[in-house]
Structure 1
Amino acid sequence: MSTTDTPTSGGGGGASVRWGVTDAAVGILLAAACSLGWAWVTRTVVLDEWLQVLGAYLAVWVPLVIVLCIADVARGRRSFAADFGLRFRPIDLLWGIGLGLVARGLVTVLELGWTGRTSLDGGVLALPTGFAFWFGIVLAPVLIGPIIEETFYRGLVLRAVERRTGGRAVVAASVAVVVSALVFGLAHLAQGAALSPTAAAVTFAGAFVFGLAAGALAASTRRLAGPIIAHMVFNGMLVVAILT
């Protein structure tokens, strides 16, 4: 991750950016198809718990990473900093922690008003063990997931919609923030859909609220470090609640 605000061209020199909404749509559809395919596999084949957990995450992440790499290398400037804003400044740490805490607080209030309880209440009867625990409960949602998902949703999707919208900068950025948050919420819908329609609605609303906050930060700073840190804090608080 670059530590400056000046986009580096990498090996792409001054090449123009040709990736856009189509690339974002391909990534979203591929991730959805792979996720549904893996869900079918786990319902029809007996697999070890660790493999089920690993496959569930990779089914979503691999298509997103592939689309990001193709967009960057073949259709962009060959620099994740220049193409998607994957850059860091020390102030991003403060913005990220603050936003993550505020977003989790807003979602907690939303959950309380909707269901009378929150995801921070715990309620997990049995946690997985071994690799399924460390990867599925800690590493994936707190470290790896935020980097991949923010780079895709707030890097590629948001910027693609922003460029496609055009017009006044503020209007284009606002539309892009809302659209990226909506897509982010829909992508997480299946997590709650497996439990109940209410859980699905709450999961979507929570992801949408966080997506709006992360998108606004990404659009205003033109960097992804803040949203990534916010995502880590947002998920990390839930993981701490589960473990305690």
Structure 2
Amino acid sequence: MPGVEQSTSGTQTVTAQPAHRWGFGAFLFVEAVLLASAALVGALLVRGGNAESLPVRDVLIGTMTPTVIAALTALAITKLRGNGPLADLRLSWRWDDVKLGLKFGVLGLVCTSVGVFVWTKVVGEENSNSAISALVEDKPMSVSAAVVMFLYLWLLGPICEEIIYRGLLWGATERLEWNKEKWGRFAAFLLSTAVFAMSHLEPLRTTLLLVIAVPIGLARLVTGRLLGSIVAHQMNNFLPALAILLTALGVVSY
């Protein structure tokens, strides 16, 4: 975001902020923080048992903690090595971005619904669930835990993931000199979409995750800012998060 200086004549002069000093090293560091914290939290929670036997409370902790820590690390990097998250990650509030994000989110819901239907037919229903759905399936869950999981999957999780992938990784890709001249934001869109899908560490679902990621990345590409992709991601996650909530409350069953 540009700064504003007051001249002696009383007019305002807009000055561009310097480019951020972080790049792929910052993204790789955040990914390392994500993986290391996930491994540490997982080891502390499992303690000789197995992930399938974890209570829902521990599943929540193991799911939320690493992603939140990694996103906070990304924000800290933009503050320490750049101009802060608002400028470096193109994170600003605009109703136009919200509206466009909702449109791409609806597109994402359609793509996801079709993708899940086809994917279930290909791999079978028993192999089509996400990792977190498999961990909470057939487990007793309190109302408070169900609401926390719903809010995380719908709202907080997408914010954290967008900061990491279509914020930090996108900004690192755009910073490359060759990329500025030849590919620009399109290269950032392609790379962030692919890395986002692979970073979930669910090889069987990577193709489906690519389908899910495309509309979210398009929201970032079209608006040029992060809010659009955050809203699109939240919109895309709403129905799966709601399904887990309703299942936990006994309203519907798997």
Alignment TM-score, normalising by the size of structure 2: 0.76
- Summarize the Cα distance change of 1:210–1:88 in structure 2 as closer, same or farther, 3 Å threshold: farther
Tell me the equivalent position of 1:226: 228
User: Once the two structures are superposed, what CA deviation does each residue of 1:184-205 show, in whole Å capped at 9, x if it has no partner?
Assistant: 1122124xxxxxxxxx422x22
Greater CA deviation, 34-43 or 222-231? 34-43
Cα contact 1:185–1:208 (8 A) shared by 2: yes
1:171, distance to aligned residue in structure 2 (A):
1.6
Partners of 1:207 and 1:127 lie apart in 2 by: 28
Cα contact 1:101–1:234 (8 A) shared by 2: yes
Which of 80, 86, 90 is the equivalent residue of 1:85? 90
Alignment TM-score, normalising by the size of structure 1: 0.79
- Summarize the Cα distance change of 1:61–1:179 in structure 2 as closer, same or farther, 3 Å threshold: same
Q: How many residues align?
A: 222
Partners of 2:220 and 2:24 lie apart in 1 by: 18
1:59, distance to aligned residue in structure 2 (A):
1.8
Amino acid corresponding to residue 204 of structure 2 in structure 1:
A
Partners of 1:167 and 1:53 lie apart in 2 by: 39
User: Once the two structures are superposed, what CA deviation does each residue of 1:144-190 show, in whole Å capped at 9, x if it has no partner?
Assistant: 11112112211111121122263455623222111111111122124
Which of 189, 203, 211 is the equivalent residue of 1:177? 189
- Summarize the Cα distance change of 1:119–1:92 in structure 2 as closer, same or farther, 3 Å threshold: farther
1:126, distance to aligned residue in structure 2 (A):
4.4
- Summarize the Cα distance change of 1:161–1:104 in structure 2 as closer, same or farther, 3 Å threshold: same
Task: Let me know the Cα RMSD of the aligned residues.
Answer: 2.8
1:104, distance to aligned residue in structure 2 (A):
2.2
Tell me the equivalent position of 2:26: 23
Higher Rg of the two aligned structures? 2
3-state SS of paired residue (1:17)? coil
Tell me the equivalent position of 2:13: none
3-state SS of paired residue (1:154)? helix
Tell me the equivalent position of 2:168: 156
User: Once the two structures are superposed, what CA deviation does each residue of 1:39-81 show, in whole Å capped at 9, x if it has no partner?
Assistant: 2222216876424412431122202311321x22211013x22
Which of 117, 132, 140 is the equivalent residue of 1:112? 117
Unaligned segments of structure 1, at least 5 residues: 1-6, 191-199
1:240, distance to aligned residue in structure 2 (A):
2.4
Amino acid corresponding to residue 158 of structure 1 in structure 2:
W
Tell me the equivalent position of 2:75: 68
Partners of 2:219 and 2:185 lie apart in 1 by: 11
User: Once the two structures are superposed, what CA deviation does each residue of 1:189-234 show, in whole Å capped at 9, x if it has no partner?
Assistant: 24xxxxxxxxx422x2233223332222212312111111111111
Cα contact 1:84–1:159 (8 A) shared by 2: yes
User: Once the two structures are superposed, what CA deviation does each residue of 1:127-148 show, in whole Å capped at 9, x if it has no partner?
Assistant: 5214421212x11111111112
1:34, distance to aligned residue in structure 2 (A):
1.5
Partners of 1:75 and 1:209 lie apart in 2 by: 33
Amino acid corresponding to residue 104 of structure 1 in structure 2:
L
Amino acid corresponding to residue 41 of structure 2 in structure 1:
W
Partners of 2:97 and 2:83 lie apart in 1 by: 24
Amino acid corresponding to residue 82 of structure 2 in structure 1:
G
Unaligned segments of structure 2, at least 5 residues: 5-15, 247-251
3-state SS of paired residue (1:14)? coil
Partners of 1:147 and 1:175 lie apart in 2 by: 22
Tell me the equivalent position of 1:134: 147
- Summarize the Cα distance change of 1:167–1:149 in structure 2 as closer, same or farther, 3 Å threshold: closer
Tell me the equivalent position of 1:193: none
Which of 202, 206, 209 is the equivalent residue of 1:207? 209
Greater CA deviation, 167-176 or 13-22? 167-176
